[in-house]
Amino acid sequence: MEILGLECPPSADYIRLNNHCARYKCMKYEDEWFGILSKSALIGLLDYYNKTESLLESDRKANLSAIAKQVNKISQERKLTEYEKFIEWSAQVDIEHEPMYGMFLPNFFRYSCIVLVYLVLGDHLDKLSRTLHKVRGNSKQPPDPGADIKTYKSYIDSFSLSYDESIWDFVEDLRRIRNCIVHASGDVSRRSSDQQLELRRIAKGNVGIHIGSEFNPNHLTPLYLDDDSITIEPRYCETMIHEVMKLIEALCKAAKLPTGIELER
């Protein structure tokens, strides 16, 4: 698996699932194999997210190390005192490091992750709708690809599946965050008054979503962070991936589509 141009080994579960699936050339999403294939894909998504976060953290530490070496070199050339050396280090961290590694790189990546998670959710609900139409039969055709989540839910529910409705609870807030990113570049102030209220409600829920100046009310907002920009903690992205996995697995179990296979250890 290649992430950001670097080779990263996928997890053991991801390898076992894909090795097993590769043996069955007939396996397709739109049949009884949907649950197994979707599980493999979602494990891959989680692997991609975790490994990219890890790479970003490694790059952040490498950048700090490079700054320290540069400051040591300057200190030797200019014979700086320890205090002057600290001031030089602080200036480089504040000007070069923090904007890039404290905000831009992690937040832009997490923005893209949220958009991707929502895309994957819609894609899997589309494939599940087509699977149910083929495996269980329904006179009504499945929604066109790209339909909204509520349309897919309505079609899936037409099969009278028995499951806990709460598995959908996360979707609406995920949609709100995704729409703010896609339609307003994460700037809450560019959304409608009602949407702003909902976004600020989410941010106050301690789920890993923050809004600009509210990110840390005990300190001044950094210059590189707009007052109304959404910032995202890693835990929110990981939680949303797990929620999608739980949703798809629960729907598959309700439809009696297998979601697991006997894996060789």
- 9 pLDDT higher than 90: no
**Span 107-120, average pLDDT:** 95
> Which residues, 6 or more positions from 226, have their beta carbon under 8 angstroms from its beta carbon?
187, 212
Q: Which residue has the tokens 């839910």?
A: 153
Q: Per-residue confidence at 136, pLDDT binned at 50, 70, 90? A: confident
pLDDT, one tens digit per residue, over 216-230 is 544 444 555 677 899
pLDDT at 134: 87
Q: What ranges do the domains of the chain cover? A: 33-254
Stronger pLDDT, 210 or 219, i.e. the higher one: 210
Tens of pLDDT, residue by residue over 163-191, are 999 999 999 999 999 999 999 999 999 99
Residue 223 CA to residue 6 CA, distance in Å, equals 32
Q: What is the pLDDT of residue 261?
A: 47
Whole-number pLDDT of residue 103: 82
160's torsion region: left (phi>0), alpha (psi -120 to 50) or beta? left
Residue with tokens 């700037």: 187
Tens of pLDDT along 14-69?
565 565 555 444 445 556 678 888 999 999 999 999 999 999 999 999 999 999 99
Q: How far apart are CA 152 and CA 125, in angstroms?
A: 6
Where does 145-213 show beta strands of DSSP type E? 209-211
Q: Which token pair is 259? A: 């979601």
* Percent of the chain at pLDDT exceeding 90: 66
DSSP 29: T
Question: Is the pTM higher than 0.75?
Answer: yes
